[in-house]
Amino acid sequence: MKIRLNKFLSSEGITSRRKADELISSGRVDVNKKVVTELGFRVDPDFDIVVVDGEQVKVQKRVYYLLHKPKGFVTTTDDEKGRKTVMHLIENSKGLFPVGRLDINTTGALIITNDGDFANTVLHPSFGKKRVYVAKLTRSISEENQKRLSRGIVIDGRRSKFIEFTSLSKDNDYVRVSTLEGRNHFVKKMFEAIGIFVKDLHRESFAGLTLNDMPVGAYRVITETELSKMLG
């Protein structure tokens, strides 16, 4: 199946699509030994030979992992402050990246891959991939406020809500919430909007993938069946 050349370069980790367009326009990309400068040019990754600055682009094997992120790790490929990143937990992590973000002290389900298109699919709210969190709150949350967060409130200028809300303790300070949102600090901001802070946050599942009894810091391969369900 043919795809746009800039998308191919991006999906193989060469550069972003915008930067790929710059490479193509400047004549630095060859396809089957011919220079290509047409931005809409399409290639078949299974048959065409693509060369950037004299070096052939090798088609990567797609890799998909589910990681049980521990506290104290930054969700990025590298960190300018020298902190440990989630990639330190993955053997042979070259070319891989985390899908979305979890705060440094938030634990739980995190996907690691080298497939940019897959990452975009599971992250975008329009695809309806649910995120389930367990949160320990600084104080009890009333039933009225639980309903408010389920009906929707405005944060960051946008109407936002939890699609599910369950209290897990008699004091209503330990809760499980579900959302389709992936914005940074979304769960914490929702509670802060009603004057409650989150002491601990754990993501139980993401896009149907559940950690179950996976040890903290461990990771496993996401199965073909799981991938089919996620993309179905």
Provide DSSP, 56-73.
Answer: EPPPPPP-EEEEEEPTT-
Long-range CB pairs of 179-184 (<8 Å, 24+ gap) are 179/130, 179/131, 179/133, 180/125, 180/128, 180/129, 180/130, 180/131, 181/125, 181/131, 182/100, 182/123, 182/125, 182/131, 183/156, 184/101
* Angstrom distance (rounded) from CA 165 to CA 153: 14
From the candidates 48, 79, 103, 173, which is the catalytic residue?
103
Bridge partners, residue 35, by sequence: 30
84 and 72 Cβ atoms separated by less than 8 Å: yes
List the one residue out of 108, 90, 112, 88 whose CA is nearest residue 99.
Answer: 112
Going 142 to 145 to 149 to 155, the CA torsion angle's sign is: negative
DSSP strand pairing (42-43 vs 3-4): antiparallel
Q: Give catalytic status of residue 44 as yes or no.
A: no
H, E, C per residue of 74-93: ECCCCCCCCCCEHHHHCCCC
219 Rama sector, left if φ>0, alpha if ψ -120 to 50, beta otherwise: beta
Residue positions annotated with a catalytic role: 103
